[in-house]
Amino acid sequence: MSLLQIHGLEKSYGKHRALKGIDLEIEPGTFGLLGPNGAGKTTLMRILTTLIPASKGRIRFGNKDWSNPENIRPLIGYLPQKFSLYQQIRVHQALLHIATLKGVRDKERQVRSVLEKVNLMDQKNKKIGELSGGMVRRLGIAQAIIGDPKIIVVDEPTAGLDPEERIRFRKLLRNLGKDSIVIISTHIVEDIESTCHKTAVLYQGNVIANGTIDEIAAKAKGKVWEFSLSQEEFYRSAEEWEVISSHKTDQMYQLRVLSDEEPPNARECTPTLEDGYLYLMKSERRNDR
């Protein structure tokens, strides 16, 4: 399957430059877009899904080019962050309607197949208003994958889901990545870690890192430490550290911190994606000052 190639992509809203020259090559599989609020993730996804045009730059997939959005739309499936459909319509009926809008042939078979993929067969006669939040997200994926799009774009996939639904939904995204490009945009690091092969980190309209999960995690190599403090020490000195997490064991507090220098009595840790991401953010913010 082809690569999705993004070159020199820029987007300005008036004077504000939301994307400042994005270069990315995305291969089949699950790909993460990670970044804080305002980094430009939604803007990039809206351009990818042809909802808005870029100000500059080029996107290509095989011999198809985004300068002609009509040709691109059948390639794309999109699950926006705030997805909803009429509450009174039944699941099966809603999907048939979407299949019609997408001009899909063999609608009944397609709808059956997507219902099976997202595990909603048992709910097919339920009204949308009767579904749980997790089921609505899965219905969102079902409508996105009708018509077999080659590129599936998912915004904040697990926002508002309970832990069990979150796990189920991540598994579904991994499965979709077996035969399409799945782009997942989020600021929830765990979603990317448990779903994606590769990820790009966006910050203020630029890609500041791009690589495998291990490569991004390794950005914090030699900077992540664990050590214990008594309760008294914890209250006195925790503020001095850039704490990633802390938990209490008996009378002690165990801290995981980011630090360029080795703290006293600390043990160096293998960085996770979250550590790498936090270190990248810390470095960028230091440069902004």
Ligand X SMILES: Nc1ncnc2c1ncn2[C@@H]1O[C@H](COP(=O)(O)OP(=O)(O)OP(=O)(O)O)[C@@H](O)[C@H]1O
Strands 29-34 and 181-186: parallel
The Cα–Cα gap between 168 and 67 comes to 37
32 binds ligand X (CB under 6 A): no
Q: Binding to ligand X by residue 150, rule CB under 6 A?
A: no
Does residue 207 bind ligand X (CB under 6 A)?
no
Question: Which residues, listed in sequence order, are joined to residue 5 by a DSSP beta bridge?
Answer: 25, 60
Q: How far is the CB of 137 from ligand X (least distance, A)?
A: 17
Binding to ligand X, residues 43-72 (CB under 6 A): 43
The phi, psi pair for 95, rounded to 5°, reads -70, -35
Partners of 19 in the beta sheet?
11
Nearer to ligand X, 42 or 210 (CB): 42
Among 28, 31, 32, 35, binds ligand X (CB under 6 A): 35
In this structure, the number of other CB atoms found within 10 A of the CB of residue 135 comes to 19
Q: How far is the CB of 81 from ligand X (least distance, A)?
A: 8
Residue 181 — φ and ψ, nearest 5°?
-90, 125
Binder among 6, 22, 26, 42 for ligand X (CB under 6 A): 42
Count residues binding ligand X (CB under 6 A). 12
Half-sphere exposure of 55 (CA within 13 A, CB side): 14
Which whole-number Å values give the CA distances from 269 to 20, 257, 281, in the listed order?
Answer: 35, 10, 19
Site for ligand X contains 13 (CB under 6 A): yes
276: contact with ligand X by CB under 6 A? no
Nearer to ligand X, 9 or 39 (CB): 39
Contact indicator for 277, 201 with CB cutoff of 8 Å: yes
| Stretch near ligand X under the rule CB under 6 A, chosen from 10-18, 59-67, 115-123, 224-232 | 10-18
By CB under 6 A, which span of 37-45, 90-98, 119-127, 276-284 interacts with ligand X?
A: 37-45
User: Does 272 contact ligand X by CB under 6 A?
Assistant: no
**Which residues are CB-neighbours of 263 under 8 A, at least 6 positions away?**
225, 227, 241, 257
15 binds ligand X (CB under 6 A): no
16 binds ligand X (CB under 6 A): yes
When binding is defined by CB under 6 A, the residue of 1, 8, 38, 214 that contacts ligand X is 38
| Residue 40 touches ligand X, criterion: CB under 6 A | yes
By the rule CB under 6 A, 183 interacts with ligand X: no
Q: What is the chain's length?
A: 289
Q: Does 82 bind ligand X (CB under 6 A)?
A: no
* 18 contributes a contact to ligand X by CB under 6 A: yes
**Alpha-carbon dihedral 175, 176, 177, 182, rounded to 10 degrees:** -140
For the chain, counts of helices (H) and of strands (E): 10, 14
**Quick check: 37 binds ligand X (CB under 6 A)?**
yes
Task: Please give the DSSP secondary-structure letter assigned to residue 50.
Answer: T
Among 6, 26, 31, 41, binds ligand X (CB under 6 A): 41
Q: What region, left, alpha or beta, does residue 222 occupy, with left being phi > 0 and alpha being psi -120 to 50 degrees?
A: left
Site for ligand X, rule CB under 6 A: 13, 16, 18, 35, 37-43, 187
